[in-house]
Structure 1
Amino acid sequence: MERRMVATVTDCPGRLVPVGTPITIPKDNFVTITQSLGGNYTVTYNGNMVRVDGTDAAALGLEPEVLEFEAPDGDDILEDQVWQALETVYDPEIPVDLVNLGLIYKVELDQAAKRVSIEMTLTAPGCGMGPVLVGDVEYRVAQVPNVEAVQVDLVFDPPWSRDMMSEEAQLETGLFF
């Protein structure tokens, strides 16, 4: 687990984990970075876990992580690049990406419309971070070459369970059966 203390350079927007309530960490306050995966940050501030979007990295005195893809030969969306993008979206509480957590149920490409449609779920239906994770998925997949639109549908059938996690994710979280 990462532990690094930094001071905010400017007011820093974030969301309380797991409820998702927006907050602002004032300039010149110390936070402890506990996770920096997929370009986003989970920090501890005043005893609370806060998720800071990667686009706000400068507020933490950090450089934003840029997602880069090799340009495809044609104008088609490459499904493997969509999956690569999805693997950069991490749960703010668990150091595992959404793909390995088993939260991505379906990916469909509409080459004519240049649209990617995704069905995903959450580890818990009442998770306040749901809209944040959906926004992360939309943002990251939109970075894939030739993608002009991203549609994410949050579904709860079938309900998520730990057995949907990859073996790697189960080992990482200590939930191996």
Structure 2
Amino acid sequence: MNEEQAVNREVKLTKELILEKLKEVIDPELGIDIVNLGLIYEIDLRPDNTVYVKMTMTTPGCPLTMWLLQAVEQKVLEIPGVKDAEIELTFDPPWTPDRISDEVRKRFGMI
């Protein structure tokens, strides 16, 4: 068994693990991580250890779109065992503030 196989056995890829890693991506304009902001719509773990992420932006004209997409790809690829990352940008359905987590809503007095 080589080193990579040993690492892959130790780390079980789960959606929860990927979501935790994606919390490290902070929207620089809002100062909130993209998971709690509600930008992540879907995560799919493929049999070949490719991770598919469907996400959105707060607005279609967001000037940070490319930066955020690259940051998401980079964070996913940092997870041991991930072979590749496929990031899809969608605006269907459009993002609304309703997607913000209760945790962040409480912090900002929105609840």
> So what's the TM-score if we normalise by structure 2?
0.85
Q: Which residue of 2 aligns with 1:150?
A: 85
Q: Which residue of 2 aligns with 1:83?
A: 19
Higher relative contact order (CA 8 A, sep 6+): 2
Q: Which residue of 1 aligns with 2:4?
A: none
Work out which of the residue numbers 28, 50, 58 in structure 2 matches 1:115.
50
Contact 1:94 1:173 in 2 (8 A): no
Q: CA deviation at 1:95?
A: 1.8
Q: CA deviation at 1:81?
A: 1.8
Partner of 1:99, secondary structure, is coil
CA distance in 2, matches of 1:72, 1:147: 8
Partner of 2:106, secondary structure, is helix
1:170 corresponds to 2:101: no
Q: Which residue of 1 aligns with 2:42?
A: 106
- Tell me the alpha carbon deviations over residues 104-163 of structure 1, each in whole angstroms, 9 at most, x when there is no partner: 0000001x3210000000001110100100000000110111001001000000000001
CA distance in 2, matches of 1:75, 1:90: 24
Partner of 1:126, secondary structure, is coil
Partner of 1:107, secondary structure, is strand
Between structures 1 and 2, the one with greater strand share: 1
Partner of 1:85, secondary structure, is helix
Alignment of 1:1-150 (within 5 A): 73-74=9-10, 76-110=12-46, 112-150=47-85
- Tell me the alpha carbon deviations over residues 86-117 of structure 1, each in whole angstroms, 9 at most, x when there is no partner: 1111100112100000000000001x321000
* Aligned-residue identity in percent: 35
Between structures 1 and 2, the one with greater helix share: 2
- Tell me the alpha carbon deviations over residues 35-94 of structure 1, each in whole angstroms, 9 at most, x when there is no partner: xxxxxxxxxxxxxxxxxxxxxxxxxxxxxxxxxxxx564575233221111111110011
Contact 1:91 1:97 in 2 (8 A): yes
Equivalent AA in structure 2 for residue 129 of structure 1: L
Query: What is the number of equivalent residue pairs in this alignment?
Result: 105
Structure showing greater radius of gyration is: 1
Partner of 2:26, secondary structure, is coil
Task: Point out where structure 1 has 5 or more consecutive residues left out of the alignment.
Answer: 1-70
Contact 1:72 1:78 in 2 (8 A): no
